[in-house]
Every structure is written in structure tokens, then in C-alpha cells.
Structure 1
Amino acid sequence: MKCQIHVFGGLLVILAFASGKQYERCELARDMKIYGLDGFRGYSLPNWVCAAFYESSFNTASINFNPGDNSTDYGILQINSRWWCEDFKTPRSHNACNINCKALLSDDITESVKCAKRVVSDPQGMEAWVAWRNHCKGKDLSNWIRGCKLTEDLL
């Protein structure tokens, strides 16, 4: 019986980690604003929310493997292991954010935002995110924050 409890408890821990946080649109917009993404490097908050939706469906635990270069995208903004983080699996990883990719899967998006700021500071800007290029760039993105209470003091 004791062994069954430990196994069951271990499975719960794994399932809790694997599921991540599923953000609601306005909740993510609020957190991204708090972390300083609104206007960062000239990209408005709706750009970031749109990118997160098309990259991960607002899920912090999203992981996607890229067979073309054997890299993996991690977290709510699908930050790539070839260039930005270290997952100890990707050949020739640059790890420009100097971070373990697992940190990008946290319910707390602090590390994801820090790394995203590093990504967007490169000459490519938000063009680094294919989903942003295909779904958000040059579009009216006002609906991504419409109805969200973002004007009051968030801190």
C-alpha cells in the first residue's frame, strides 16, 4: 500500500509539471505588461499576446521538436534551443539567453520574458518568431487586449 501511494504521488508531481499553466488572454496580457513587454523594442503588448497564442496557445509547458535542425522550442513563447537556451540535446546550441530550457516551462514566466527580451533585442526582432510573422505582423492586433483591465496600477 505504501508503495502505491509513493507511485501515485510521483505521478501527480509529473502530471502537475507536464500540464504547465494555461493562461487566459487578459491574464497573460497583464503579466506581460507587468514584466515590461509593452513597448519593449517598439513592440506593443498585443504583438506579444498574439505571438504567445500562436506559439503555445498560452501554455507555459508547451514543447515542440523541430526535426529539421534537431532543436526544440520551449514555453509560452516557444524559445528555441538552437539559439537561445540549453537543453543538453540540441547540437551546437548557442544558449544566448544563458539559461536551461527547462526554466522556460515554469508557470512563472519571468525567465521566458527575460529571454524573449534578449531574442527581440537582436536585429531580427520579433521576426525570430515564425508564428508572429505568419499571424500577427502587420495586422490589427487590438482584439488581443480588448476588454482587458490593463490601465489601473498593476503593481
Structure 2
Amino acid sequence: MKHLFLTLSYFVYCEAKKFDTCDLAKELNDIQDFPKSNIASWVCLAEHASGGDTKAISLTPAGIHHYGLFQLPQRTCEVGGNGGDCQVACQSLIDDDIKDATKCALKIFEDRGFYDWLQFNQTCQDINGVKQKLADCGFKP
């Protein structure tokens, strides 16, 4: 018997900043202390996790919310106040200022690499396509 596993999620879209490949790379490049050598990987993750949308919120079948550009899990934040692994409010992960989301994503990455991001592991192992898009728009870290 064959089984089909389907992960259902929904996205809530409000007024949001939606990044394209080049704009996100430039924004990440402007963030102090962001690892410039990994920008293509982070852009790939954001494209596949949230479609580049800062306001994306998804819900897994297990009832776990994921927030923002990098789809950070609810354990990283606190609804209504600062808390979680990143000591931030979940609302700060879905606003147009991506500094909090980026700082939290980097904290997770430092602890576990891209392991926690299924989207990265499924689609971003070969980032040559993203690197080519960045080269086409003249991006150089």
C-alpha cells in the first residue's frame, strides 16, 4: 500500500513587503554581521519558504505556526510579547523590517544549520540557479 504524505499549510497575507531575488539579496547584504557568503542560500530559503513575503504565516497539520520571511517556528517567539528561543514577539517576525527575523534565523542556523528548514533541504541543495539570478541582476556581496 502506498502512502501519500501531504503537509498542509495556509498562508495569511496582509499588506506585506514581498521581496524578489535581487532585492532580498541586497537587503541581506546591508544587514551588519550577516554572513555574506551564504546570501544565495538564504535567498533560496526565503523564496521557497514564504515566497519572499515578510507577512507569511503557515500552520502545519500538527498545529505549529511558522512566521515570516524565513518561516520561523513558533518556539522561536512569543505571541503578545518577547519570548521563545529568540526572545522576540512573533509579530516582529512578520513585519517589513527583516532585522529581527534575520537575527532569529541566524541564531537557529548557528545551532543547527539549515536542518530545521524542510524547504531548504528539499529545494536549495543546489543553489547555482539562485547564484545565476543574483549575477544576472548585478549583485555582488
Aligned pairs (5 A) from 1:125-136: 125-136=113-124
Q: Cα offset for 1:151?
A: 3.6
Q: Which amino acid aligns with 1:96?
A: D
Q: Cα offset for 1:77?
A: 0.4
1:30 aligns with 2:26: yes
User: Could you tell me whether the CA contact under 8 Å between 1:103 and 1:111 is conserved in 2?
Assistant: yes
1:86 aligns with 2:92: no
1:145 counterpart SS class:
helix
Equivalence for 2:94: 105
1:97–1:29 Cα change, 3 Å: same
User: Could you tell me whether the CA contact under 8 Å between 2:44 and 2:127 is conserved in 1?
Assistant: no
Q: Cα offset for 1:143?
A: 2.5
Equivalence for 2:60: 66
Q: Cα offset for 1:144?
A: 4.2
Deviations 1:35-92 (A, max 9, x none): 11423xxxx2110000000000000010001121x220000000010x311226xxxx
CA distance in 1, matches of 2:22, 2:50: 15
Q: Which amino acid aligns with 1:32?
A: L
Question: What is the aligned residue count?
Answer: 124
Q: Which amino acid aligns with 1:73?
A: H
Aligned pairs (5 A) from 1:106-145: 106-122=95-111, 124-140=112-128, 141-145=130-134
Equivalence for 2:68: 75
Runs of at least 5 residues in structure 2 that lack an aligned partner in the other structure: 1-12
1:37–1:75 Cα change, 3 Å: farther
CA distance in 1, matches of 2:67, 2:51: 12
User: Could you tell me whether the CA contact under 8 Å between 1:20 and 1:106 is conserved in 2?
Assistant: yes
The structure number with the bigger radius of gyration is: 1
Structural RMSD (CA): 2.0
User: Could you tell me whether the CA contact under 8 Å between 1:84 and 1:96 is conserved in 2?
Assistant: yes
Identity %: 25
Equivalence for 2:46: 52
The two structures have a TM-score, normalised by structure 1, of 0.72
CA distance in 2, matches of 1:98, 1:119: 12
User: Could you tell me whether the CA contact under 8 Å between 1:85 and 1:100 is conserved in 2?
Assistant: yes
User: Could you tell me whether the CA contact under 8 Å between 1:37 and 1:48 is conserved in 2?
Assistant: no
